[in-house]
Structure 1
Amino acid sequence: MTGFQHEAAFYGSDDDFLAYVVPFVEGGLRAGEPTLVACTAQNTALLRGALSRTDAVMYLPGSDQYARPADAITQYRDLFHEHTAAGTRQMRVVGQVPHPGTGSPWDWWARYEAAANRAFAEFPAWALCPYDIRTTPADVLTDVVRTHPHIASTVGTHDANPAFHEGVLSTTPTPDLLEQGPALIELVDPTAGAVRAAVNAAISTTRLTEDSAHDVIYAASEIVTNGLTHGVAPVRFRLWADETRVVVSVTDRGSGPSDPLAGLMPTTETRSAGLGLWVLHRTCDYVSMARDDEGFTIRVSVGGTA
């Protein structure tokens, strides 16, 4: 196998999970391939109990521990670089991805699944992504099928997926309760400096930590700059807040970036969202990017629980 093979598996019981994953992992171990497992704590325990040997498996934080998609991509790329630099010709990964069934917003993880095909394309890695059909919402399962070029089966076949769709997915961001109330700040075509000043004043009465306050101000400035530079006027900035959490959004009349990697990997490409959007994805608690009748909206949440 050359390059990255991205494969989904759908299971409906613990036995089904093991039927998919145990042969995959043990096949890698028999071949002497570096084998990485990033599953929920429950499934990791199941797998440890079922494998004939676990000493050669590298267990990573799973879908109940990863906070951000950009962090996951960075960690995987670092590990893949390390192994290929050491001469590895093939790696295997079992990676469970967070979704609403595990308590996580799906839209940025859907972008992760779409982006993985390019983010890891240079590496000789075979990735199996198991999804539990008992807890995974139907719309998530639809996105999973669209983002995986291959589908696994318990009988050992690994079929090309005719429903695979390259590119950006159109997903619906997770609604935020703060947005149900009136915005504390609403500005049209503001400068980045005006936004920083307004946000600094608005969050002065919150209980955000110093780091979180810095993240909010940076995020607000960055997404306004992004809208003014790459979007289509008018650029509308809004902020909502309670004592522990702040949500900021920017909407412009453009269509937003066409690259599924935007924000999930660093870039110096000036025609894209650039390095700043990647920083947001690694520091903020939630970042959504969506298109609707109003245009393209970037929304960022910092602090508390979304």
Structure 2
Amino acid sequence: MCTRSDGFPGIGRAAAASIGLRYFEVISVVVTGFFHETAFYGSDDDFLAHVVPFLENGLRAGEPSVVACGEWNTSLVRGALGRGTAVLYVPGADQYSRPSEAISQYRALFREHTEAGSRQMRVVGDVPHPGVGVRWDWWARYEAAVNQAYAEFPVWGLCPYDTRTTPPEVLADVTRTHPNVATAPGTHEVNPGYREGVPGSTQVPDPLERRSPLVELVDPTAGAVREAVGSVIGRLRLGEDESHDVVYASSEIVTNGLTHGTAPVRFRLWADEKRVVVSVTDQGSGPSDPLAGLVPTTETLSAGLGLWILHRTCDYVSMGRDADGFTVRVSVGGQT
């Protein structure tokens, strides 16, 4: 049995890259860390050509295999593999509700199988994007973050993207966040377009931001923000939990900006009857860690714990830098 930490049969990753080698999957290859791969497809047949052999080889090797795809792709895989296979099917909408939730659930699953003695696992997942009606920014951060978040687990993760529905800017981010790419079914190559870190996705203001903000404060205290926000959301049709989430999020991201950012710190809030958008902009560069907000931390010098709570409670969280500065933007009360 050929056991390698880079997932390449019989040749090292650097050597393969140096000679432009295409290498073919050997089902006995065992990876000792996360092997993050993407594949682009333009038809249902292309999708199956990538995914079915990937899963069948894993099953023949006795590797736990997971499919977390949308309904249509799941039905395609089920139909191709037939009944009685040991694949674990997880509804994509459940697995990919929020990036922080996806990481938490996957890590729990990977840990369970690793502790049970699994030497390698395989996962196929449909990561959401605007082509299926989901905002992309925090999923771009997810694709970058999992290179670290899953690094300790022997997992081969395949993220297929449909070129018929995926916007070009998303495909560009996907290329930058995956160290490996299946350029054709059965081939697995080092991705020359991979870059470490979070892709610099363009910050997209929420549609509510076309209106004048209901609250706008500069360098406010957290207490002043809580008071101002509380007076506004009392007039909205938010549930008790959502109202609490808005107040907490507003206080947390202002505190984060004042503590870790660079003045001036500008707080703004927009709302309609059922939804609230809050943004905080400072002149700093923002956190350099791609895991910030996506995994919990108890480090007192880090903003990670508060940002993680935001990612677990708010309906959308965007973080990034543009001409105005570094902005954290959250939405509570449902997706746009």
Given the two structures, how large is their TM-score scaled by the length of structure 2?
A: 0.89
> Match for residue 262 of structure 1?
292
Alpha-carbon distance change, 64 to 141 in structure 1, aligned in 2, over 3 angstroms:
farther
Whether contact under 8 Å (2:95, 2:102) holds in the other structure is no
Q: Is the aligned partner of 1:226 residue 2:256? A: yes
Q: How does 1:283-298 map to 2 (within 5 A)?
A: 283-298=313-328
Q: Which amino acid in structure 1 is aligned with residue 193 of structure 2?
A: A
Whether contact under 8 Å (2:281, 2:325) holds in the other structure is yes
Q: How does 1:196-207 map to 2 (within 5 A)?
A: 196-207=226-237
> Match for residue 107 of structure 1?
137
Separation (CA, whole Å) in 1 of partners of 2:124 and 2:325? 37
Separation (CA, whole Å) in 1 of partners of 2:296 and 2:148? 13
Whether contact under 8 Å (2:68, 2:95) holds in the other structure is no
Separation (CA, whole Å) in 2 of partners of 1:120 and 1:154? 25
Q: Which has the larger radius of gyration?
A: 2
> Match for residue 86 of structure 1?
116
Q: Which amino acid in structure 2 is aligned with residue 144 of structure 1?
A: V
Give 1:52 deviation, angstroms. 4.3
> Match for residue 213 of structure 2?
183
Whether contact under 8 Å (2:203, 2:321) holds in the other structure is no
> Match for residue 247 of structure 1?
277
Separation (CA, whole Å) in 1 of partners of 2:174 and 2:270? 32
Whether contact under 8 Å (2:316, 2:335) holds in the other structure is no
Give 1:270 deviation, angstroms. 3.3
> RMSD between aligned alpha carbons?
1.2
Q: How does 1:1-306 map to 2 (within 5 A)?
A: 1-62=31-92, 66-306=96-336
Query: 1:58-78, CA deviations, whole angstroms, 9 ceiling, x for partnerless residues?
Result: 111215863211110110000
Give 1:304 deviation, angstroms. 3.2
Given the two structures, how large is their TM-score scaled by the length of structure 1?
A: 0.97
Separation (CA, whole Å) in 2 of partners of 1:181 and 1:48? 47
How high is the sequence identity, in percent, across the aligned residues? 72
Give 1:284 deviation, angstroms. 0.4
Whether contact under 8 Å (1:256, 1:296) holds in the other structure is yes
Whether contact under 8 Å (1:63, 1:97) holds in the other structure is no
Off by >3 Å, runs of 4+ in structure 1: 52-55
Separation (CA, whole Å) in 1 of partners of 2:74 and 2:142? 22
Unaligned regions of 5+ residues in structure 2, if any?
A: 1-30
SS at match of 1:109: helix
